Amino acid sequence: MSPAHSIRSTASVLSPGVGRSPVATPASKEKWIGCLVGQCIGDAVGAPVEGLPPKDCKRHAEKVLRQGLLDDTFLGQSRFGQYTDDSQLARELLLGLTEHGRLDVADYAARITRLFMSGEVVGAGKATAEVARRLASGVAPDEAGIAAPSAGNGSAMRAAPIGLWYADDPSALIAAAREQSRITHQDVRCAAGAVAVAGAVALSLRGRPIVTEPFLAELSEWVRCIDQTVAFDVYQISSWVTLSPDAAVTFMARAGLCPGFDGEWAGISGYVVPSVLWSLYSFLRSPDDFVQTIETAVAVGGDVDTTAAMAGAMSGAYLSVSALPQTLCERLTDQGRWGFAELTALAGQAHAAWQDRSSK
């Protein structure tokens, strides 16, 4: 989660044309479940090798996803399944949306604070941990966020539920993704990354085959409302997606960085731009294959619980829960709670609440 620096300028002009509904028919409950559970699986696959070089991550992904060897030794546990802060925070976001019927910034800030102060957070990012301490000491949510140019992926990694809840209202999606981002990350690139993740989920719910270029063109238009240069990078994936992972990573790992900046990460860093781009690349390279998407997201090395969590949310939203490996679904856990059954129930309740909201 280390912050990175770049020379980006920002723009904040709501563009026309984002008001039309991206959803032809209401998305099914199975897609909502797929999104939440898919995020947790990606997170849990990547977590044991977070920060490790590509060769270690590649070997680990193949072992878990292709050979079915699920003995991870992660956080003292000997079996696959523990997910981390990415998915804990996404789960809390969906809980809040369900309870309030919309994004309630004060409620979500309180949920972040509670998760961190209780000690239940797993693999906490430094920036969000610092903000949680500020919130706990009484700093207001609109003042607590880490200031620019720190621009980690901590607010993008949890943004998928915004894409579920606001899939039929792009303007509201953009506003909500930005507002939830600002609680912890004030850099506008973080908000742009959150819009990219939430927007990709929303577009994946449509129930139509994904065609890369128009998918990215529409997503880029939404991101452009927040930051023009991140939007350009998002659209650039339409050129990079045909490259092999080894070739694509040479472009995407450095996206948004100053020329000559020499990051300390092998693979994809925790800087918001490369990690969001890599999650999109992983998904769009194999939209019909959840396992391949997670393998691509993890094998690159670096901050791979987060790249795989975001890619897993997109893929799960597109393919529905029935396309996710059952053996991995059943192993999910958050320290003995919030396993597959509870996550499924939450996504189902959230979907019902969303339908109820939509029908009023």
Q: Distance (Å, rounded) from C-alpha 316 to C-alpha 37? A: 7
Nearer to Mg ion, 34 or 270 (CB): 270
- Given candidates 72, 187, 221, 305, which one binds Mg ion under the rule CB under 5 A? 305
Nearer to Mg ion, 204 or 306 (CB): 306
Q: How far is the CB of 48 from Mg ion (least distance, A)?
A: 11
Nearer to Mg ion, 39 or 229 (CB): 39
Q: How far is the CB of 137 from Mg ion (least distance, A)?
A: 24
- Lookup: tokens for 11: 């723009």
- Lookup: tokens for 209: 């085959």
Nearer to Mg ion, 295 or 305 (CB): 305
Nearer to Mg ion, 305 or 334 (CB): 305
Number of residues that bind Mg ion (CB under 5 A): 5
- The piece of 55-63, 239-247, 280-288, 297-305 that touches Mg ion (CB under 5 A) is 297-305
Q: How far is the CB of 35 from Mg ion (least distance, A)?
A: 17
Exposed/middle/buried for 50, CB within 10 Å: 0-12, 13-18, 19+? buried
Nearer to Mg ion, 123 or 287 (CB): 123
Q: How far is the CB of 68 from Mg ion (least distance, A)?
A: 23
Q: Distance (Å, rounded) from C-alpha 44 to C-alpha 37? A: 10
Q: How far is the CB of 123 from Mg ion (least distance, A)?
A: 4
Q: How far is the CB of 267 from Mg ion (least distance, A)?
A: 15
Nearer to Mg ion, 216 or 310 (CB): 310
Nearer to Mg ion, 158 or 331 (CB): 158
- How many beta carbons lie within 10 A of that of residue 99, not counting itself? 14
Q: How far is the CB of 197 from Mg ion (least distance, A)?
A: 14
Nearer to Mg ion, 241 or 328 (CB): 328
Question: Nearest-CB residue to Mg ion?
Answer: 84
- The piece of 96-104, 228-236, 266-274, 304-312 that touches Mg ion (CB under 5 A) is 304-312
Q: Distance (Å, rounded) from C-alpha 11 to C-alpha 8? A: 10
Nearer to Mg ion, 123 or 161 (CB): 123
Pattern 47-86, Mg ion, x by CB under 5 A: -------------------------------------xxx
Nearest to 34 by CA among 359, 305, 302, 287: 287
- Given candidates 123, 145, 193, 274, which one binds Mg ion under the rule CB under 5 A? 123
- The piece of 120-128, 132-140, 218-226, 264-272 that touches Mg ion (CB under 5 A) is 120-128
Determine, following the binding rule CB under 5 A, whether residue 334 of this chain makes contact with Mg ion: no
Q: How far is the CB of 60 from Mg ion (least distance, A)?
A: 15
Q: How far is the CB of 289 from Mg ion (least distance, A)?
A: 24
Q: How far is the CB of 276 from Mg ion (least distance, A)?
A: 15
Three-state SS across the chain? CCCCCCCCCCCCCCCCCCCCCCCCCCCCHHHHHHHHHHHHHHHHHHHHHCCCCHHHHHHHHHHHHCCCCCCCCECCECCCCECCHHHHHHHHHHHHHHHHCCCCHHHHHHHHHHHHHCCCCCCCCHHHHHHHHHHHCCCCHHHHCECCCCCECCCCCCCHHHHHHCCCCHHHHHHHHHHHHHCCECCHHHHHHHHHHHHHHHHHCCCCCCCHHHHHHHHHHHHHCCCHHHHHHHHHHHHHCCCCHHHHHHHHCCCCCCCCCCCCCCCECCEHHHHHHHHHHHHHHCCCCHHHHHHHHHHCCECHHHHHHHHHHHHHHHHCHHHCCHHHHHHCEECCECCHHHHHHHHHHHHHHHHHHHHC
Binding site for Mg ion (CB under 5 A): 84-86, 123, 305
